């Protein structure tokens, strides 16, 4: 049995050096983005004993979401966009048949994030054009 070190595999495949903590940091970052900033849930998943560890280290992610909320508020208040209460009912009324292997609840959570919804919409449009 041949055992190769991490550094050998990194050099052999021209990969950037990654340490375990980088993977953990990436995981926490994506969890915060995907769940819309649910700090308490991420704290539990990541094993941080103090919630301020998550807020201090990952505040840049939370700030992005706060900035997006401020932009949406400005559009609604100053430009009077998305003020029709029935627009939410129309969105809720749309149904799509999902393949049996798709988790509908997870998909709904992902699509509730405007950035993820835009990304998936762009991806879908690019696949349609092929």
The pLDDT assigned to 82 comes to 67
In the predicted structure, residue 108 carries a pLDDT above the cut 70: yes
0.95 exceeded by the pTM? no
- Asked whether the predicted pLDDT for residue 93 surpasses 60, the reply is no
Asked if residue 92 has pLDDT above 50, the reply is no
Of 17-31, 59-73, 107-121, which one has max mean pLDDT? Answer: 17-31
Task: Express each pLDDT in 43-83 by its tens digit.
Answer: 888 888 888 888 888 877 767 777 777 888 888 888 777 66
Buried b (16+ CB within 10 A) or exposed e, 4-27: eeeeeeeeeeeeeeeeeeeeeeee
Reported confidence tier of residue 89, pLDDT bands at 50, 70, 90: low
Non-local (6+) Cβ contacts of 10 within 8 A are 16, 17, 18
33's CB contacts (< 8 A; 6+ apart) are 61, 64, 65, 113, 115, 116
């Amino acid at each position: 049995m041949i055992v190769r070190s991490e550094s050998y595999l990194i050099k052999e495949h021209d990969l950037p050096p990654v340490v375990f903590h980088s993977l953990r940091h990436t995981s926490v970052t994506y969890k915060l983005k995907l769940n819309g900033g649910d700090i308490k849930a991420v704290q539990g998943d990541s094993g941080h004993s103090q919630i301020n560890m998550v807020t201090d280290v990952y505040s840049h992610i939370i700030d992005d979401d706060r900035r997006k909320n401020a932009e949406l508020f400005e559009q609604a208040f100053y430009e009077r966009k998305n003020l029709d209460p029935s627009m939410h009912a129309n969105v809720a009324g749309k149904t799509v048949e999902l393949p049996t292997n798709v988790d509908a609840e997870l998909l709904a959570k992902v699509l509730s994030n405007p950035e993820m919804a835009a990304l998936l919409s762009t991806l879908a449009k690019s696949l349609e054009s092929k």
